[in-house]
Amino acid sequence: MTAIDPGRTVAVVGTGTMGQGIAQVALAAGHLVRLYDAVPGRAEEAARAIAARLGRLVDKGRLDAAGRDAALARLRPAARLAELADSALVIEAILEQLDVKQKLFGELEPVVSEDCLLATNTSSLPVTAVAGALRRPGRFVGLHFFNPAPLLPLVEVVRGFATDEADLERARATVAAWGKTPVTCADTPGFIVNRIARPFYAEAFRVYEERGADPATIDAVLRECGGFAMGPFELTDLIGQDVNNSVTRSVYEAFFHDPKFTPSFAQGQLVQAGLLGRKTGRGWFDHGEGAERPEPSTAEPCDPPAEISWHAKAPGVCAPLHEMIEEAGVKVVRDRTPQSEWYIGLPDGAMLTLTGGEAATPQCGGTYIYFDLALDYRSCTRVALAPSEKASAADVRAAVGLFQALGKKVSVIGDVPGLIVARTVAMLVDFAEDAAGRGVADREDVDTAMRLGVNYPRGPLEWGEEIGLSRVRNILWGLSQDYPGGRYEPSLSLRRRAAVRESLL
């Protein structure tokens, strides 16, 4: 199926930030674009705002003056829906209320031609429900752009229950022709990105609620150890706590209060208090003029142990640590005795090892200090440690000094199960496996959506394979032991794929 010809008209209904952004994308692709808003004068205001943005692109050398003038000549505000009659595609970006959207499309359907593609930019409402009042719902799709639409490459192309396959492919081809990266997904709550991304926020907020670490430290660990571009506290302050909380609650309601999607009590209190982030001057952090961002908790310098023991074979993600420790001048003594688990033995007998999802203190058979999962232990700049309450001050200093000798900053946090990065990534992998297993999207589109839509350092499915699906499953089982109730129960899709991997060993 071919894309809509650039000579055809594209209409955008709703002229807020997202509507303006989508109109700018269509203009850049060469279409004549009509802007409509139910509020008189808004379409003209939006056209002026788009003109100003194109002017700034000219000033920055990203667009020539002729290109700007040609684009503005194709931009036409509309005072009535009837003026959209020649449209080949109409994209709606109005208020997120089902009845309002249904009313709009009910009025629009008899205006446009039979071959006109109709689309909603909704991020939270079912595409199927929006199309439900139409006489021909087969030509209706979701086109979920991400803000700011001219800059972010991803578009989720959503198949409603009644969407015709040919019209879905026409929408996808058109998005690709506009220079965007389309991913196709089923009409399920949150689509791909907003469904799979929930644990990135929820697990961080839960660690905070349990007083495992403060927001600045959690953000730093996820950035500097996990490789994420921003931490969840700073990111939700940027998005708006009300917006992020609303999406979480919408997905939670749509999944009939599945505990995996439970909203954060602490974030809810922020919203109730009106502390919505940057737009109100304060959220998790103070954004007032002259306010200083709190520093993450970082351990003071400690001496590394002169010698450590290395027990059993390290899991693949931890394998570089052996060489790194030797390079740092610490003697490594291998224990050749068969071991059921891998750990680094510290001088006084404490066992330093990668978290398995459970808390350190209840573990029998020794004194444990868990360290967090890293995207790459060689390149990461920070590591989190969670000592058992049985660990002595000397044990903790030895663990801290060892990682400092490897060039890492160290954050010592409370004994929270799964620490920070490991529990977050394990949940992201599980949500991604579950979405792929349920046919929400194919595996390639799932990873593409999460890399481009929320800028993750790796697609979660790829990440899970690198960590090892059995390890991911076991981290979740460990979390389930400390948090019964179903939130951390590994999905059937993850358990199946982990079992297949094990059978091939």
Residues annotated as catalytic (active site), given as ranges: 123, 144, 156, 194
CA quadruple 452, 469, 385, 315: dihedral positive or negative?
negative
- Spatial distance between the Cα atoms of 78 and 86, rounded to a whole number of angstroms: 12
Distance between CA atoms of residues 332 and 322, nearest Å? 8
Q: Long-range pairs for 459-463 at CB < 8 Å and ≥24 separation?
A: 459/432, 460/196, 460/425, 460/428, 460/429, 460/431, 460/432, 461/429, 461/432, 461/433, 461/436, 463/425, 463/428, 463/429
For 396-401, the CB contacts below 8 A with 24+ separation are: 396/369, 397/302, 397/303, 398/302, 398/304, 398/305, 398/346, 398/347, 398/348, 398/350, 399/346, 399/350, 399/352, 399/369, 399/371, 400/299, 400/302, 401/301, 401/302, 401/303, 401/304, 401/305
CA distance 419 to 425: 11
Give the dihedral sign, CA 286/416/339/397.
Answer: positive
CB environment 73-108: b (16+ within 10 A), e (fewer): ebbbbbeebebbbebbbbbbbbeeebeebbebbeeb
If residue 384 lies in a helix (H) or strand (E), which one and from where to where? strand 382-387
Rounded Cα gap, residues 242 and 60, in angstroms: 34
Task: Give one DSSP letter per residue of 232-281, joined into a string.
Answer: HHHHHHHH-HHHHHHHHHHHHHHTTT-GGGPPPHHHHHHHHTT--BGGGT
d(CA 181, CA 141): 16
